[in-house]
A and B are shown apart, each in its own frame.
Chain A
């Protein structure tokens, strides 16, 4: 019955199917109306939430698998190797094989560990990821929840992922895990400041915290160009702090192999380890997606002021592809950092944040506020 409703809704769409990629709102409205015509509002909303949940689950798994293979390919490219090349064309199915292996692996119970917290920790990390993913705008009309405080919600929720890491480290009853968790906690808590201030710089420029409005404000030009030097500085600081937030190299002290074996997830095995691993990659996706939305225009095509013809040509590429193109560009940058720079020491890392990034950031917000007050931005 449900499938019937949806296919009916799809067939009532007047445009050819590929037009959906330009504007998803007609599709979502058609599904909504179809469900509401045959069901009570309560069940309609419940089924809509279920559909969105399943879509996000699939999206989560696909993005995670893709990012793992992308990381291995980028790493191979930088080290002048081929990378995985046995399973599927160009080794593209390697991560699927890895996932199947991880699913079948034994879950090793840890003696004298706090079982409840040990099992809870991976789920906290994953749930936090889902809560953030739901608030991002992926394309025109492809936005699950559009809060009027959108970007603040994203910061608020993502600040909780450190709790999963800390719980994992402590409940494993292992020195490596505990030290890894402590390092990760110190790192994430301090770099959150830089991320927050870099985002505030953009909020000052946009005059709104609603993600749809931030994207809409970039119709005439992306913020990284509109905001002169301060916006560009904020973008660089955001990328540095975002790399640190995701515990990736060169800031990967939390799981430095040569010192801590694997950091906070040393004691995890099988699919629970895979959860942490996946969450780390999705965190990277979230950081890149927020960077793309705030600085590079989100799903907005590349527009230049009054160049009508040029803007029309750019509009032919669907917003959906613009968003993912920009996001994967930022992800590629973050991957380049990991395979180019050597790992920092913990004191160097904290010095970088508290003595350099934070003061620069504070002055940057001030300059941006001044620019906006004087109306000097485009």
Chain B
């Protein structure tokens, strides 16, 4: 067994174990902490593939951004004494079935693809190449998906503001201590 395989087994075991813990724990902040571990192990896999840009994006967007947002909203809304009730047996059986079916579908799709093994060492991805192809309008350019995603994010932001405002007439201002 090479060190590469060892690290791969370590990371994938961490991903599997912490994913299961995320959905089975009954304390909400622990679930967020386990989710953080899953995302960190995923970025570890990217580092192994020598795709450091993707790994750093994973760290900064998911671990440093989304998980912080989730933890922040938990801090604002829930108390430490709150615990979720254990789920009914019927519900847990059906969700387990759904999860297993999804996993089987994914595994079958992956096995269907014939991966050709190469002996070429993994190359570092050039940062300038990523930046240029992200903003290129040529055949291999990604400028259209890039812009579409930014519109999606804008829509999500507007939706968040609308949900937070909840419509209705604006309340009269109450005097505050300032």
Q: What is A's interface to B at a CB cutoff of 8 Å? A: 42, 45-46, 112-114, 116-117, 120, 147-149, 152-153, 155-157, 159-160, 162-163, 166-167, 169-171, 173, 178, 181-182, 185, 189, 208-209
Contact of A170 among B65, B68, B80, B127 (CB under 8 A): B80
- State whether B80 touches A185 (Cβ < 8 A): no
- Using a Cβ–Cβ cut-off of 8 Å, how many residues does chain B contribute to the interface with A? 29
Q: Is B88 an interface residue (CB 8 A)?
A: no
Residues of A within 8 A of B59 (CB): 153, 156-157, 159-160
- State whether A189 touches B68 (Cβ < 8 A): yes
- State whether B29 touches A117 (Cβ < 8 A): yes
**Given the contacts A42-B2, A42-B3, A156-B59, A163 and B52 also touching, CB distance less than 8 Å:** no
Complex Cα gap A166–B67 (Å): 11
- State whether A167 touches B29 (Cβ < 8 A): yes
Residues of B within 8 A of A167 (CB): 29, 33, 71
Contact of A112 among B33, B74, B81 (CB under 8 A): B81
Q: How far is the CB of A266 from chain B (nearest CB, A)?
A: 15
Residues of A within 8 A of B150 (CB): none
- State whether A163 touches B36 (Cβ < 8 A): yes
Q: How far is the CB of B143 from chain A (nearest CB, A)?
A: 19
- State whether B36 touches A114 (Cβ < 8 A): no
- State whether A149 touches B52 (Cβ < 8 A): yes
* Interface residue SS majority, chain B: helix
What are the nearest 10 A-B pairs in CB distance?
A159-B64, A156-B60, A156-B59, A156-B56, A173-B80, A153-B56, A166-B71, A152-B56, A147-B52, A160-B64
Chain B window 21-33, contacts with chain A (Cβ cutoff 8 Å), 1 for yes, 0 for no: 0000001011001
Complex Cα gap A46–B6 (Å): 12
Q: How far is the CB of B51 from chain A (nearest CB, A)?
A: 10
- State whether B29 touches A171 (Cβ < 8 A): yes
Complex Cα gap A170–B79 (Å): 8
- State whether A148 touches B2 (Cβ < 8 A): no
For chain B, residues 58 to 95, give those with C-beta under 8 angstroms from any C-beta of chain A. 59-60, 63-65, 67-68, 71-72, 74-76, 80-81
Complex Cα gap A171–B27 (Å): 11
CB closest chain-A residue, reference B81? A112
Q: List 6 A-B contacts (CB under 8 A).
A: A45-B3, A159-B64, A163-B71, A170-B71, A171-B80, A178-B75
Complex Cα gap A186–B80 (Å): 20
- State whether B126 touches A113 (Cβ < 8 A): no
- State whether A112 touches B80 (Cβ < 8 A): yes
Q: How far is the CB of A321 from chain B (nearest CB, A)?
A: 30
**Given the contacts A149-B53, A155-B60, A170 and B74 also touching, CB distance less than 8 Å:** yes
- State whether A152 touches B53 (Cβ < 8 A): yes
- State whether B68 touches A162 (Cβ < 8 A): yes
Q: How far is the CB of B178 from chain A (nearest CB, A)?
A: 9
Q: Is B124 an interface residue (CB 8 A)?
A: yes
Complex Cα gap A186–B125 (Å): 34
Q: How far is the CB of A284 from chain B (nearest CB, A)?
A: 20
Complex Cα gap A262–B144 (Å): 50
**Given the contacts A112-B81, A148-B52, A167-B33, A209 and B127 also touching, CB distance less than 8 Å:** yes
Complex Cα gap A170–B27 (Å): 12
Residues of B within 8 A of A157 (CB): 59
- State whether A148 touches B72 (Cβ < 8 A): no
- State whether A114 touches B80 (Cβ < 8 A): yes
CB closest chain-A residue, reference B131? A209
Contact of A149 among B56, B65, B81 (CB under 8 A): B56
**Given the contacts A156-B56, A159-B65, A117 and B33 also touching, CB distance less than 8 Å:** yes
Complex Cα gap A46–B2 (Å): 12
CB closest chain-B residue, reference A347? B178
Complex Cα gap A209–B60 (Å): 16
Complex Cα gap A361–B123 (Å): 35
Q: How far is the CB of A224 from chain B (nearest CB, A)?
A: 24
Contact of A153 among B33, B52, B67 (CB under 8 A): B52
Q: How far is the CB of B95 from chain A (nearest CB, A)?
A: 25
Residues of A within 8 A of B65 (CB): 159
CB closest chain-B residue, reference A155? B60
Complex Cα gap A171–B32 (Å): 13
Residues of A within 8 A of B72 (CB): 166, 182, 185, 189
